[in-house]
A and B are shown apart, each in its own frame.
Chain A
Amino acid sequence: MSESPEPRLLSGSAATPPPSRPSLLLRLKAFLGVLVSTRLDKSGGRIRQLALILCLAYAGIGAKLVKLGLSSEPPQTLKVAADQAASGARPDLLDRNGQVLATDVRTLSVFAEPRRIIDKDEAVELITAVLPDVDAKELRERLSSKKGFVWVKRQVTPKEQQEIFHLGLPGVGFVPENKRVYPNGPIGAHVIGFVDKDNIGIAGMEKYLDQQSLTDPHVAGFTVDPDSLKPVRLSLDLKATHALRDELEAGLEKYQAKAGAGAIIDVNTGEIIALESLPDYDPNDPPDMTKESSKDKINRVNVGVYEMGSTFKAISISMALDSGKVNLGSRIDARDSLRYGRFTIHDFHATHRVLTVPEVFTHSSNIGTARMALMVGVQGHQAFLRKMGQLDRLRTELPESAEPLVPKRWTELNTMTIAFGQGLNVAPIQALMAVAALVNGGHMIVPTFLTRSEADAMASSHRVVSEQTSESMRYLMRSNATHGSASFANIEGYYVGGKTGTADKIIHGHYSQDKVFTTFMAITPADKPKYLYMVLYDQPQAVAGDGGYHTAAHNAGRVAGLLIRRVQPLEGVPPASQFPTQPFPLLAKLGYGFDADKVGKE
């Protein structure tokens, strides 16, 4: 009865329904009739009502805005905090053939929001029951802090994650994080480096990447999209690096050495194909380098500085040859020991006769080399060593580098001793760079750990010795392999050239006779070098059958031989079936070096 279909607004209109029960159709018709009525006298009320509704709506919106503005807690803090704390993505590191050296794997980390945890003691108890390696006391402290976001444990296993999830604790959650993994373990570890818990590079090429600001995700306040990161290709060859490490390790054990290191460089591009330093570490579980116990795990090729011994004679002789003071036919008096003040310079393998320059090299005559350096003089010697990069810190992409130890007062005596490798400590990579420049035609190319083309290398290089001097050095190294101390590395088919270096170590201020530092440098092929091998051992011992010798030829030289045998085929170089027909054309024109094999024959 009271069900009037008319809205209040339209009361008193003409469409009053009959008191009797109207049919549904009629009521609908009446309702629609009023609804769509366009009579002007009804509009005023409608407009007022509409305005009222709109006012209410706007008042509601305004109230909500005031409420949002007054609320102290900014929304989405958790997301921001998690993004800032979580490890960012890093580009993959690949070797020169595209094999993975380092990559990111997505893992989950457990975090907590202390303000949202109701019962902290219960939470600590339950969490430590699932994650036994989390310290309960420390966790309680962290959970009692006022922070909005704390880590419980980084990078948990899927099983742990499942268990934490089933605890159902409010205020405990998971964030996906990137965990850096090094699938090859310690192979190439010193070059690759490692990262800390937050995926920030702290050593090796990992640190270099961050220094290039390619990766640091937290600085700019945005996260790096992992897909936008291009993998970085290093110059290392994983297989060659493994071979180097394997042979070095075998040698380390065989010769009971304290440490060993080695490197292979492409002399035409400056790319480091392999670099190892033993003892080393697994970058998946990096050592704390600040600790004393980790000191022997340094990268000896880049960070260690050593007296390189006779390998330095290559530099000294090339200096003398390049200055024009001597040529390959010159004769150097090595009949008697060389006296300077109260010092006397002896030869290890004394010949007591006048030697030709190639003989000085193959007999590794200290006297002969010292005399040649004196011909050039102190000034010339210093200038040449500086040109060869031996007196300044060599910086490569690796953040680790070392300043060479240069004598403060440089007298003629210093020049004499430095000429045969005593009194100047350099990083082995500096010596490697210098020898590479001496044999590649005289182009000084800074070593790199990234891939580089020959054209780029040539563009950034500069000439340090003449083409002819370089060819002379190749000839000398070749003759040393056939008739000198480098014969252990003379692998048939690869036309190897080499130079040994044995430096007595300084123990308590005196040169020790039985503690030595041995180095070996080998080039293949000697007529047109492509690879330069370097092997060094710290305090190797003589093994049975070597007649008590612990000199470089017997340890570093042997290992280099094994290495060449193994790595050359890996690099796609088959052994040549015959010797090159004219290995040293410039020398042949001058009348020398028709046959490297004749040198040194008495």
Chain B
Amino acid sequence: MWRILHILAIAAVIFSAAYVYSVKYQAIYASEQVVKTRHAIAKERDAINVLRAEYAHLIRPDRLQALADKLLDTQPLALNQIVKAGDLPLPAAKVDSIGRKLEALGLGQSATPSAGVTGATPALR
């Protein structure tokens, strides 16, 4: 009886040791992965930094100005081209010029039904 118990105990020890061993190696592997990922992140971060610096270098105002002078046929902005949104003139009221013409010809109401009746596109204003 005792022997069997001892055998069981030893087997349990061996199995648990093997299990702990494998868990330990899994942990080591995982921490290696963490370190690797950290390195990869740091590398990516450095790469992002380099790209940011490069981007800033490429969009530096003097370079853009030189390129614009060379490649674009636009003029520098004049002050009278700057207008506040509120100062823009309102669009002129829509005029139904064909309808007027017809009216002038005396064909107005009778020949063409009014826009409201037919449900044609209503005037904006």
Contact = CB atoms under 8 A, between A and B. Distances in A.
Contact of A574 (B6, B62, B84): B84
Interface residues of B, number: 25
A491 interface: yes
B83 A574 contact: yes
Interface of B is mostly: helix
Interface string B26-59: 0000000000000000000110011011101100
A460 interface: no
Nearest to B84: A574
B3 interface: yes
A292 B57 CA distance: 31
B61 A238 contact: yes
Contacts of A574: 82-84
Given A99-B56, A183-B57, A105 B82 contact: no
Contacts of A239: 61
Most interface-central of B7, B54, B82, B83 (chain A CB within 10 A):
B82
B10 interface: yes
A575 B7 contact: no
Interface stretch (A32-40, A335-343, A385-393, A591-599): A32-40
A246 B62 contact: yes
B65 interface: yes
Given A36-B10, A105-B49, A184 B65 contact: no
Interface residues of A, number: 30
Given A36-B7, A106-B46, A493 B52 contact: no
Interface in A442-500: 491-493
B87 interface: yes
Contacts of B45: 227
Interface of A is mostly: mixed
A100 B62 contact: no
A187 B62 CA distance: 9
B37 to A, nearest CB: 15
B50 A105 contact: yes
Given A32-B7, A238-B61, A103 B53 contact: yes
A185 B64 CA distance: 13
A181 interface: yes
B53 A105 contact: yes
Interface of A: 32-33, 36, 38, 99-100, 103-106, 181, 183-185, 187, 227, 238-239, 242-243, 245-246, 491-493, 565, 569, 574-575, 577
Across the A-B interface, give the 9 residue pairs with the lowest CB-CB distance, nearest first.
Answer: A183-B56, A242-B61, A36-B6, A183-B57, A106-B46, A100-B56, A184-B60, A575-B79, A574-B82
25 contacts: A32-B3, A33-B3, A36-B3, A36-B6, A36-B10, A100-B52, A100-B56, A103-B53, A105-B46, A105-B49, A106-B50, A183-B53, A183-B60, A184-B56, A187-B61, A243-B61, A493-B79, A565-B79, A569-B77, A569-B79, A574-B82, A574-B83, A574-B84, A575-B80, A575-B82
